[in-house]
Structure 1
Amino acid sequence: MTAPELLPRRRIAGVVAVWVVAAVVALAVGVFVDPDWRGAWLLVGFGVCFFIAFAIQLASGRSQGFIIRISASVLGALVVMGLLGAGFGLAELLAAA
């Protein structure tokens, strides 16, 4: 039998942390990478967010809801990076016109 935790850690903090990392990575890629290579580097950044999500959730030491937290982290990172990438793509189209 395991002892209950006296002060349980917040589960959402690790998920939101991955979303913030995804936003920072997408902004860095959008600003510093040539538009021709932006899609490839966004995919590399998403892979980094995937590994960061696993590292954060494994470091929390909780097994309950692990798959759900990983899924929320990765799906949120995908949405954040997708929206920022689409924004940079639209900005590139409008700048070319």
Structure 2
Amino acid sequence: MRKATSWQWASVWPVWVLAALGAVLVGILQPTDGIVWMPIVLGGCTLVAFAIQLGGPTEPGLVDRLAAAVFGSVLILALASAILVPLTLL
């Protein structure tokens, strides 16, 4: 099995950045009901992850990179939700 090069894994972090930016925007624009928008941000991140992975050359490890991008987005948005939910109760 061939080991993936670092440039292939560089296609994962833009999805994580998009998830973080989406979480910040949701927190700023919808501070009282922002948790409702988190699944929409996750859906957008998933579509972007597919577009990035399938838009380039299909190198070995495509599924691993796609899973890493989506799972990282889930973790980022879960952390953001854990921060936003107590703030909405204030």
- Give the TM-score of the pair, scaled to structure 2: 0.85
- Letter of the structure 2 residue corresponding to residue 24 of structure 1: L
Report Cα offsets for 1:1-29 as digits up to 9, x if no partner: xxxxxxx7701211011000000001101
Contact 2:35-2:85 at 8 Å conserved across structures:
no
- CA deviation profile, 1:22-81 (whole Å, cap 9, x unmatched): 000011011101423x22211001000000000011122123111111100000000011
Offset of 1:85 from its aligned partner?
1.6
TM-score, L = length of structure 1: 0.79
Question: Which structure 2 segments of 5+ residues have no match?
Answer: none
User: Who is 1:39 aligned against?
Assistant: 35
Coordinate RMSD, CA, aligned? 1.6
Partner residue, 2:71 = 75
Give, in whole Å, the separation in 2 of the partners of 1:75 and 1:9: 19
Percent of aligned positions that are identical: 33
How many residues are paired up? 86
Determine if the alignment matches structure 1 residue 60 to structure 2 residue 66.
no
Ranges of 4+ aligned residues in structure 1 off by more than 2 Å: 90-93
AA aligned opposite 1:48: G
Once residues 42 and 84 of structure 1 are traced to their aligned partners in structure 2, the CA distance between those partners, rounded to angstroms, is 9
* Secondary structure of residue in 2 paired with 1:64: coil
- Please, which runs of 5 or more residues in structure 1 have no aligned partner? 1-7
